[in-house]
């Protein structure tokens, strides 16, 4: 199985040993961040630093001035947490020199700085609270920004493909600093209700889909009320959403959400293809439950695989998770479709590098054609040793 490891440019820039060390793992490719959200990241082996604090969502290359001149919504270049103006380009050159292919890793609808500086762009929940980390993908200005960013950040010099993350709705779930929202557990359906947007564009969209937006917002608040009192259920899936909202309101809300995400995904993929050379591979981080929000955007596999070259699916968490990800997706693959099982291989992040070979074999039996390893730059030396053993065992099978 072709295998790619995720990396940040700052894992490579300034460390002359980094590219060779990654190649020695037995991977064939690196998925290298070119546009990424704010983060605080460990760099266990870098010769000059141990922690990198990326203070805001940024592009890790110089954004094209001709593309963004005069526009209110535009990407920001990285600040002092990178030491090269084109950190992605420097890192990509080193990785290719070590014999590795490079895919760009592009994070799109996840940007707290955008929401802080332009509050009107954010998702607004049924209570009127804004989610600054979650741009509303129904807004025309946000959509134009995301589509143009996808094309520019994806097609970087020397890249043979891209992996588009957060290409869809983001919602309540978010790894926020000093997070304090877990006091009331929310089930799958309740998470969806807390992620529904009620900005002016989405209100118009719900009306277009046949629902009174005020009635829908009231129904959401009513459905969530038992949970705030500690008596909430664990409803899940579209059946759970329907049980909470009623058939008509649930259907109208889902119709608007799914149509909006689907059209954005189609537009972004088309823009990347128009900017890319022949043979450039376009993959998307996704979840096969269409109503799901987050970095792995909810999709209908039968539809999205008509547009992308494949999907990267979150497969950490045991056999049941891999089956939930690959089971609904594999039947819709085409002869050249990539289905990449994304496995966390950092023990400190809940991954299991010691079982990599077995987990990969199980994913392959369910239809995975490639592997993604999250995340070679964050892994300890012991994790990297386990990855090398696991990939060698997998190759010998």
Q: Which domains does the chain have, with CATH numbers?
A: 2-178+260-396 (3.20.20.80)
Percent residues over pLDDT 90 in the chain: 94
Rounded distance between C-alpha atoms, residue 42 and residue 29, angstroms: 21
Confidence class for position 147, pLDDT limits 50, 70, 90 = very high
pLDDT, average across residues 132-158: 98
- H-helix or E-strand spanning residue 231: none
Instruction: For residue range 321-367, list pLDDT tens digits in order.
Output: 999 999 999 999 999 999 999 999 999 999 999 999 999 999 999 99
pLDDT, average across residues 28-50: 97
CB 38 within 8 A of CB 113: yes
* pLDDT for residue 43: 98
* pLDDT for residue 270: 98
Confidence class for position 184, pLDDT limits 50, 70, 90 = confident
CB 123 within 8 A of CB 55: no
* pLDDT for residue 21: 98
Q: Which long-range contacts (CB under 8 A, 24 or more apart) does 199-204 make?
A: 199/120, 199/122, 199/123, 199/124, 199/136, 199/138, 199/139, 201/136, 201/138, 201/139, 201/140, 202/124, 202/136, 202/138, 202/256
- H-helix or E-strand spanning residue 371: strand 370-374
pLDDT, average across residues 14-22: 98
pLDDT at 177 exceeding the cut of 90: no
Confidence class for position 51, pLDDT limits 50, 70, 90 = very high
Compute the chain's Rg from CA coordinates: 21
Burial (CB < 10 A; 0-12, 13-18, 19+), residue 140, is exposed
Confidence class for position 178, pLDDT limits 50, 70, 90 = low
Rounded distance between C-alpha atoms, residue 122 and residue 126, angstroms: 13
pLDDT, average across residues 139-167: 98
**159 Cβ neighbours under 8 A, 6+ residues apart:** 92, 102, 103, 104, 280
Beta pairing partners, 77: 59
CB 368 within 8 A of CB 329: no
Check the CA dihedral 225-231-235-239 and report its sign. negative
pLDDT, average across residues 293-310: 97
Asked whether the bond before 375 is cis by omega within 30 degrees of 0, the reply is yes
* pLDDT for residue 75: 98
**86 Cβ neighbours under 8 A, 6+ residues apart:** 60, 61, 62
* pLDDT for residue 67: 92
* pLDDT for residue 234: 87
Question: Smallest Cα–Cα separation from 315: which of 283, 334, 342, 294?
Answer: 342
Rounded distance between C-alpha atoms, residue 133 and residue 256, angstroms: 21
DSSP 75: P
Token pair, residue 104, equals 């760009």
* pLDDT for residue 66: 92
Question: Smallest Cα–Cα separation from 119: which of 150, 142, 147, 145?
Answer: 142
Written in H, E and C, the secondary structure of 16-71 is: CCHHHHHHCCCCCEEEEEEEECCEEEECCCCCCCCEEEECCCEECCCCCHHHHCCC
Q: How many CB atoms lie within 10 A of CB 362?
A: 18
Rounded distance between C-alpha atoms, residue 196 and residue 127, angstroms: 10
């Amino acid at each position: 199985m072709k295998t790619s490891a995720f990396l940040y440019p700052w894992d490579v820039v300034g460390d002359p040993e980094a590219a060779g060390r990654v190649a020695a793992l037995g991977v064939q490719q690196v998925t290298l961040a070119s546009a990424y959200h704010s983060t605080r990241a460990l760099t266990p082996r870098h010769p000059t630093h141990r922690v990198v604090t990326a203070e805001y969502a940024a592009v890790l290359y110089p954004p094209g001035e001709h593309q963004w001149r005069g526009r209110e919504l535009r990407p920001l270049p990285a600040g002092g947490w990178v030491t090269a103006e084109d950190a992605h380009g420097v890192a990509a050159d080193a990785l290719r020199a070590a014999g590795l292919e490079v895919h760009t890793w592009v994070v799109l609808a996840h940007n707290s700085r955008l929401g802080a500086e332009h509050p009107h762009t954010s998702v607004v929940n049924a209570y009127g609270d804004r989610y600054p980390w979650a741009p509303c993908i129904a807004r025309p200005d946000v959509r134009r920004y995301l589509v143009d960013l996808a094309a520019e950040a994806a097609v970087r010099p020397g890249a043979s493909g891209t992996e588009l993350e957060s290409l869809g709705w983001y919602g309540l779930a978010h790894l926020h600093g000093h997070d304090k929202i877990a006091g009331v557990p929310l089930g799958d359906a309740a998470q969806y209700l807390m992620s529904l947007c009620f900005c002016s564009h989405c209100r118009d969209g719900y009306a277009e889909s046949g629902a009174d937006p005020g009635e829908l917002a009231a129904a959401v608040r009513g459905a969530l009320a038992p949970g705030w009192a500690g008596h909430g259920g664990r409803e899940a899936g579209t059946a759970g959403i329907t049980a909470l909202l009623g058939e008509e309101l649930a259907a109208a809300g889902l119709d608007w959400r799914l149509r909006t995400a689907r059209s954005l995904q189609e537009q972004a993929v088309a823009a990347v293809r128009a900017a890319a050379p022949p043979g450039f591979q376009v993959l998307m981080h996704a979840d096969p439950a269409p109503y799901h929000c987050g970095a792995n955007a909810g999709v209908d596999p039968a539809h999205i695989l008509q547009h992308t070259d494949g999907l990267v699916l979150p497969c950490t968490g045991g056999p049941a998770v891999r089956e939930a990800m690959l089971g609904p997706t594999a039947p819709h693959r085409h002869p050249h479709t990539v289905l990449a099982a994304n496995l966390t291989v950092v023990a400190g992040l809940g991954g299991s590098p010691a079982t990599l070979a077995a987990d990969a074999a199980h994913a392959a039996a369910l239809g995975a054609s490639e592997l993604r390893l999250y995340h070679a730059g964050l892994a300890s030396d012991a994790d990297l040793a386990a990855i090398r053993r696991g990939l060698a065992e997998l190759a010998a099978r």
